[in-house]
Structure 1
């Protein structure tokens, strides 16, 4: 039977080990202390130490090998389902160099499809951007974005050659509502070319719409190679 002390220790140990792994202090392949050593270090039972390691393994952060111990797993990018995150931060969390390449930037009038997608009035102007984010010199994800120039007029004077549209918006435009849509797709020819993967490869697509005090802000579609990204959500029991 778990005591309050054991539950508190479990959370503390889990937090410590997660921090060391995600910060890169313990790199991929690093062997974690054995259960008995963790128990001695934290003054807890071996059962508590075992539960922490099991939880880390289920999260994909470590690999448990019979008779060998527990090792930090090779990284797979993770993003929280309900968070708005910066791709550069995501890449650097993997201890990889970040790169960014703007493919196209086009100011145009919103199409009927754009107006429906972003809840825009007819005749609205949008900025359309396509960019590739790189991790360790390899394509990490493809970004397709529409920005509502009525809500974010300053975007029109930004060429986005050096800063990604997402990072620009996070730093400039407060948002008060967001919607995510997540799906698995196969890569079309143009997407496969930009991501340097085989055509029809499995991809993960995250679409997001955000709104601010002035109305719709942006629509973005991120396309990731399926083997390089994972989604994470943490839940608590409802009251």
Structure 2
């Protein structure tokens, strides 16, 4: 790799050194500066340029590999993975974008946040192993100040360890994941359920009122990234898709 390319790796000085290295390389990949197939600098080259230990550089590259952004091969070295992240993220809709496309003003509130081993109830709700280490968040999204959707989400810390340092004060978790992870598989289900009392109070609807429940899981290869339950007031929402013989259009 030529000097100008390795010189593009620039640290921002925020947080642990391994995560600065991870973010610097991730941003070059997501911006298209390093397209798929680009050779990533060798560990010793990054160590020399960034003044980091081998363990620190190795940890950053290992995390990028888990996120699917790079591919590490023993003989041919490390390259930027294909396809690029921007292609793989297009089908997961951003809730802020969803609201803005309705011509309304978006806002959100974090109702609760915890990190750690999944409780029995949480494991049951999201079909998790009891040893799963997750960040659990509940949020309420608003459109023009009115409740739009209630979000209940877990993010797997083993796959996305940087989530433990993220407050989500500026960006809701769904959009943050679009910016900070790559998914290769997704599972999506929609069902009709009746709102329970606590959910109804938050959504400002009557208990028992019909709601649309959107459940989604994403993986990077075999590694789970996130599972989310999105509860929409049924009378205010509908989901529309247009399809052709070769998929959505």
TM-score normalised by the shorter chain: which range applies? Answer: 0.5 to 0.7
SS in 1 for 2:113: strand
Cα contact 2:215–2:228 (8 A) shared by 1: yes
Work out the CA distance in 1 between the residues paired with 2:100 and 2:135: 28
Work out the CA distance in 1 between the residues paired with 2:111 and 2:140: 7
Which structure would you say has the larger RCO, counting Cα contacts within 8 Å and 6 or more residues apart?
1
Query: Displacement, 1:160?
Result: 1.8
Matching residue within 97, 101, 114 for 2:105: 97
Query: Could you tell me which residue of structure 2 aligns to residue 47 of structure 1?
Result: none
SS in 2 for 1:232: coil
CA RMSD of aligned residues (A): 2.3
Query: Could you tell me which residue of structure 1 aligns to residue 145 of structure 2?
Result: 137
Query: Could you tell me which residue of structure 1 aligns to residue 118 of structure 2?
Result: 110
CA 1:214–1:151: 2 relative to 1, 3 Å: farther
Equivalence map 1:156-195=2 (5 Å): 156-195=164-203
Equivalence map 1:51-66=2 (5 Å): none
Query: Could you tell me which residue of structure 1 aligns to residue 238 of structure 2?
Result: 230
SS in 2 for 1:107: strand
Q: How many residues align?
A: 158
Work out the CA distance in 2 between the residues paired with 1:86 and 1:129: 17
SS in 2 for 1:85: coil
Cα contact 1:132–1:140 (8 A) shared by 2: yes
Query: Could you tell me which residue of structure 1 aligns to residue 136 of structure 2?
Result: 128
Query: Could you tell me which residue of structure 2 aligns to residue 153 of structure 1?
Result: 161
Cα contact 1:118–1:218 (8 A) shared by 2: no
Query: Displacement, 1:232?
Result: 1.9
Q: Which runs of 5+ in 1 are unaligned?
A: 1-81
Work out the CA distance in 2 between the residues paired with 1:97 and 1:207: 24
Q: Which runs of 5+ in 2 are unaligned?
A: 1-89
Structure 1 length as normaliser, TM-score? 0.61
CA 1:101–1:85: 2 relative to 1, 3 Å: same
SS in 1 for 2:245: coil
